[in-house]
Amino acid sequence: MLGWELPPHNSGGLGVACYYMSKALSQEGATIDFVLPYKADHDIDFLNIYSATDLIPLHRNGMGAYYRCNCDKSCTHASLSSLRDVQSQYGQYVEQLVKDVKPHVIHAHDWLTMEAGIIAKRTAGIPLIVHVHATEYDRSGEFYGNPLVHDIEQEGLMMADRIIAVSQITKNLIVDKYGIPAEKVEVVHNTIDPESLGVYYYDQSTYAYLDSLRKEGYKVVTSIGRLTIQKGLKYFIYGAAKASEKYDKLLFLIAGDGEQRDELIELACELGISDKVFFTGFVRGQAWRDAYSVGDIFVMSSVSEPFGLTALEAAAHDSALLISRQSGVGEVLNNVMRFDYWDVNRFADELVGIATSDSLRDELAKNVSNEYSRISWRDVAKRIKQIYHKEGSAA
């Protein structure tokens, strides 16, 4: 398996998904050689981990799965060229490795490892499975994105013997934008392991001010994630302003950091709702969990979201969910409200509707929390293992 990160050195959902997927696959009897682009100690016994470089995880800061660097200011915004160097070394390493360990199939995740996947396929003559968690179309919002990345994705998708997409939305993108035959693409949704969230107690002092206002009847609307164009947060703010016109007991908690922050702050000011919008900056640990808990309503306003694990996390924290139709996670959840990311009127309307009706809010939250964990990683692993077998025997 060709990956780019594993917890705790992950910059986002890709590492988490790879971790649980591999764990479940190994429990289903698969032997996995997992290649990382950096060297670190892992407390993982279900994988053979290989390091393609001697870089420590810190060095690869800024060239994580979300290469549009969203790390803190101390990071020397890694240029794509240094990322390309790492990718090239990664490819050479994989070329040698497949000769040594002789795998049955190659499972490559996203554009970061697609080139190495192609090398492995050519070297060892084994099937290549490309797993798409996000495409350049998703990362760049409504824009075209980086043509180099797009080209790598195009080649990887064409060379793949089988493609796994994390949602129907992603499959459609692969078919429409990359011209790949639909038969070649399987949809296998990501999921969340409720046990992975661990023991947790909500700490009311973390967001004391928000909690004090909640006691006065305010509703907290949360958005958690990177502040990038992909997440559609400008629409979120426009919708927030619209909703606030109709109902003034709304507060908006935006947890996360990213290059769009300043723009969003200005927009909130221009729309006159700056005192209702709270920016936490990057949060982790307790403050991250508490951001879910303090929220009454969780919003995913993404312009293009292949899956959207945070929505499942929110479902695990008693939130009512309001999700854009452009988010893949909506395909596995029924008890949510939906809107098109650009339809701020509808978004505002739904928001006010949930905020002004406790029975609606509670019903949504209760039902989605019964729903979010229906699919287990074990089910996901079984599907993937079938694909391995099919491709392995076809070769």
> Which residues contact another protein by CB under 8 A?
73, 205-212, 216, 253, 261-262, 265-266, 269-270, 272, 274-275, 278-281, 287
For the bound state, the minimum distance from the C-beta of residue 208 to another protein, rounded and expressed in Å, comes to 4
For the bound state, the minimum distance from the C-beta of residue 234 to another protein, rounded and expressed in Å, comes to 15
For the bound state, the minimum distance from the C-beta of residue 53 to another protein, rounded and expressed in Å, comes to 32
Query: Radius of gyration of the chain from Cα atoms?
Result: 21
| Residue number, 183 or 216, with CB nearest to another protein | 216
For the bound state, the minimum distance from the C-beta of residue 287 to another protein, rounded and expressed in Å, comes to 7
| Residue number, 72 or 358, with CB nearest to another protein | 72
| Residue number, 136 or 211, with CB nearest to another protein | 211
| Residue number, 40 or 213, with CB nearest to another protein | 213
For the bound state, the minimum distance from the C-beta of residue 210 to another protein, rounded and expressed in Å, comes to 8
| Residue number, 279 or 342, with CB nearest to another protein | 279
For the bound state, the minimum distance from the C-beta of residue 217 to another protein, rounded and expressed in Å, comes to 13
| Residue number, 140 or 244, with CB nearest to another protein | 244
Count Cβ atoms within 10 A of the Cβ of residue 378 and give its class: 0-12 exposed, 13-18 middle, 19 or more buried.
middle
| Residue number, 211 or 296, with CB nearest to another protein | 211
| Residue number, 20 or 278, with CB nearest to another protein | 278
The 3-state secondary structure of the chain, one letter per residue: CECCCCCCCCCCHHHHHHHHHHHHHHHCCCCCEEEECCCCCCCCCCCEEEECCCCCHHHHCCCCCCCCCCCCCCCCCCCHHHHHHHHHHHHHHHHHHHHHHCCCCEEEEHHHHHHHHHHHHHHHCCCEEEEECCCHHHHCCCCCCCHHHHHHHHHHHHHCCEEEECCHHHHHHHHHHHCCCHHHEEECCCCCCHHHHCCCCCCCCCCHHHHHHHHCCCEEEEEECCCCHHHCHHHHHHHHHHHHHHCCCEEEEEEECCCCHHHHHHHHHHCCCHHHEEEEECCCHHHHHHHHHHCCEEEECCCCECCCHHHHHHHCCCCEEEEECCEHHHHCCCCCEEECCCCHHHHHHHHHHHHCCHHHHHHHHHHHHHHCCCCCHHHHHHHHHHHHHHHHHHC
For the bound state, the minimum distance from the C-beta of residue 251 to another protein, rounded and expressed in Å, comes to 10
For the bound state, the minimum distance from the C-beta of residue 156 to another protein, rounded and expressed in Å, comes to 38
